[in-house]
Amino acid sequence: MSDAENKRENESAFSRRLSWGGTLLVWLAVLLPFFFLYVVSRRAVINEVRLHAMGVAIATASGIDTELLPEIRSAEDMGTPGFEKIQRYLSRQIESNPDIRFIYTMRRATGPNASPSAYEFVVDGPARDFDGDGKIGPDEASEDPGAPYDATDLPALIEAWDRPSADPDISPDPPYPDLISGYAPIRGANDVTLGIVGVDITARTVAMKLRMVQIVIFCVWLLICVLITLIIHLYYQQNAAFEEIRRLNDELAARHELLRRTSRELSARDTQRLDLDFAPPRARTVFDRFDLRAAHIGGAPAGVFEVDQDRVAFYLASIPYASGNASMIASLISVALNALAEGTGGAPGVPSVYVDLSDPGAVLRRLSALIANDLPPEESISLLYGVINLNDDSIALAAAGSCFAALCRRASGAVESVELVAGAPLRSGDTNEYRVATLRLNEGERILMVAADDARAVFAGAADRVKGEPLKEEIARVAALFPAGRANLLAIEAC
């Protein structure tokens, strides 16, 4: 994968992480107002339950026969007609209001040291098997008349002696379940309070009401979060699409410039004679340590150019002789490599066509992306690309296509074959990896490269017969061993 592709992949991964991170923050931000909405809704439900309990207590208190209450003082009075009449009345109130768990009457204790918080039961609602287990548990039993009750922790119950009131929130009341209670005074003659009516609604009932609020709030929150998430992802996708369009526009502009220059070069070639004689782009390149001489023979593109003050690049191409587009392909390679060497598309406003020219594998990958898509489907290009590093006298070579062979002639006269691991030729739609071979080139040594059918066998056999020849004569003698016009050779010598 190229550096540009790695960069795009890293940017894409970063955008995805940023997208999900931003989405999570938005979800949390949206959750905050919904949390406050739930708090307000819970308070509203609690108030609604309080008012309901207090309203039932007021209505019940107004219907109790006040003349019967003073007659009920202790457990012995449970069988009296007055007790049974009031209990039946309380039972009807429970049946008419399913939310109510308990309903009862109380009065303040009358002992000498009784405090305002000391109450005692008068008539309690009948015992009921609320959990359906067939037994009356402690939280289901009915309290006897005269049973004491301490209201110290229930200021609303104390206040109820004077006016209707209700607990501010759910409160514990062992052995009974957690409750919200409403209270109302029972007024007798001359508006004297004879007792109070208490109405209890359990926390379970309140929770059921709150659950509906929770479900509605959660569904609305989830819907809003999903919509916001879609908007965020659409935004990022739109940005990614714009970036991709920009990248494609840049690439299209670079290809357009490349084709324009290719067309210009083809037009110039139509007016010139095709010369297969020696025509190296730069016959001699002078450096501080030693000189480099280059010679080339053949009709396919070849070239030598400086990458920087420490490195020199060279290339040798091979084009199928049966191709009817050989001239076009040759110009395409030449223009593309020149564009890479210049690091620009060559025209104002044309984006950079950058690649690390010192990395043969990266250059072939970039050329594959830059050239191959402009080739006819049936065409392909074989290309050998190398870089000489003058800091350590090393040569790095990579080949696209298997038609190349390379020999290194040492200063001692020995000839070494360079093992090239060829990648696939450059052709439309392919994305390939290219392995790089390395060797050293010292002063007085040369490297010869050939692109031809069966190049390895013929080239290796020619090595001993052309020993010691000057550079141009040597590649000419090697070329003569191949069928006429079927070999392209490039030689580079350190001297």
In a shared domain, residues 307 and 201 = no
In a shared domain, residues 261 and 309 = no
Q: Which domain holds residue 365?
A: 273-494
User: What CATH number does the domain containing 96 carry?
Assistant: 3.30.450.20
Distance CA 342, CA 82 (A): 112
27: Cβ–Cβ under 8 A, 6 or more apart, which residues?
Answer: 225, 228, 229
In a shared domain, residues 283 and 160 = no
38-42, 109-113, 235-239, 287-291: segment of lowest average pLDDT: 287-291
Query: Which of the four pLDDT bands, split at 50, 70 and 90, describes residue 195?
Result: very high
Pick the residue with more confidence: 179 or 465? 179
Query: Which of the four pLDDT bands, split at 50, 70 and 90, describes residue 282?
Result: very low
Q: DSSP letters of 378-417?
A: T-EEEEEEEEEETTTTEEEEEEESS-EEEEEE-TTS-EEE
Three-state secondary-structure class, residue 9: helix
Pick the residue with more confidence: 470 or 9? 470
**Tens-digit pLDDT profile for residues 55-110:** 999 999 988 888 888 888 888 888 888 999 999 999 898 888 888 888 999 999 88
Average pLDDT over every residue of 161-185? 85
Of 109-123, 276-290, 416-430, the range with the highest mean pLDDT is 109-123
**Tens-digit pLDDT profile for residues 10-48:** 555 555 555 677 777 877 888 888 888 888 888 888 888
Query: Which of the four pLDDT bands, split at 50, 70 and 90, describes residue 430?
Result: low
In a shared domain, residues 236 and 287 = no
Three-state secondary-structure class, residue 281: coil
**Tens-digit pLDDT profile for residues 400-428:** 888 888 888 888 877 888 888 888 888 75
Domain boundary among 240, 272, 304: 272
Domain boundary among 272, 302, 331: 272
- Confidence check: pLDDT of 462 > 70: no
- Confidence check: pLDDT of 163 > 80: yes
Average pLDDT over every residue of 250-275? 57
Say which DSSP state 423 is in: B
Average pLDDT over every residue of 262-283? 43
In a shared domain, residues 129 and 258 = yes
Residue 487 has a pLDDT of 75
Residue 107 and residue 196 in contact, taking contact as beta carbons nearer than 8 Å: yes
Distance CA 301, CA 315 (A): 8
In 3-state terms, the chain is what percent helix, strand and coil (to 5)?
Answer: 45, 25, 35
Three-state secondary-structure class, residue 182: strand
Average pLDDT over every residue of 438-444? 87
In a shared domain, residues 226 and 101 = yes
- Give the total number of structural domains in the chain: 2
269-278, 337-346, 413-422: segment of lowest average pLDDT: 269-278
Specify the DSSP element, H or E, that contains 118: strand 118-124
Instruction: Sort strands 394-400 and 193-202 into parallel, antiparallel or unpaired.
Output: unpaired
CA distances from 372 to 6, 163, 408 (A): 20, 93, 30
* CA-closest candidate to residue 181, choices 116, 247, 238, 106: 106
227: Cβ–Cβ under 8 A, 6 or more apart, which residues?
Answer: none
Average pLDDT over every residue of 103-118? 86
Residue 285 has a pLDDT of 47
In a shared domain, residues 441 and 362 = yes
Residue 95 has a pLDDT of 86
Residue 121 has a pLDDT of 92
* CA-closest candidate to residue 276, choices 315, 314, 304, 302: 302
Residue 14 has a pLDDT of 52
In a shared domain, residues 410 and 433 = yes
User: What CATH number does the domain containing 329 carry?
Assistant: 3.60.40.10
**Tens-digit pLDDT profile for residues 306-328:** 888 888 888 888 876 555 555 66
In a shared domain, residues 29 and 64 = yes
Domain boundary among 235, 256, 272: 272
64-73, 191-200, 294-303: segment of lowest average pLDDT: 294-303
Pick the residue with more confidence: 423 or 283? 423
Instruction: Look over the chain and give the mean of its residue pLDDT values, rounded to a whole number.
Output: 77
Residue 119 has a pLDDT of 92
In a shared domain, residues 222 and 278 = no
In a shared domain, residues 244 and 284 = no
Three-state secondary-structure class, residue 293: strand
Residue 165 has a pLDDT of 93
Residue 309 has a pLDDT of 80
**Tens-digit pLDDT profile for residues 362-386:** 888 877 777 666 666 667 788 899 9
Pick the residue with more confidence: 261 or 125? 125
Residue 184 and residue 57 in contact, taking contact as beta carbons nearer than 8 Å: yes
In a shared domain, residues 108 and 176 = yes
Pick the residue with more confidence: 442 or 205? 442
**Tens-digit pLDDT profile for residues 180-191:** 899 999 998 888
Distance CA 209, CA 228 (A): 29
**Tens-digit pLDDT profile for residues 201-212:** 887 778 788 888
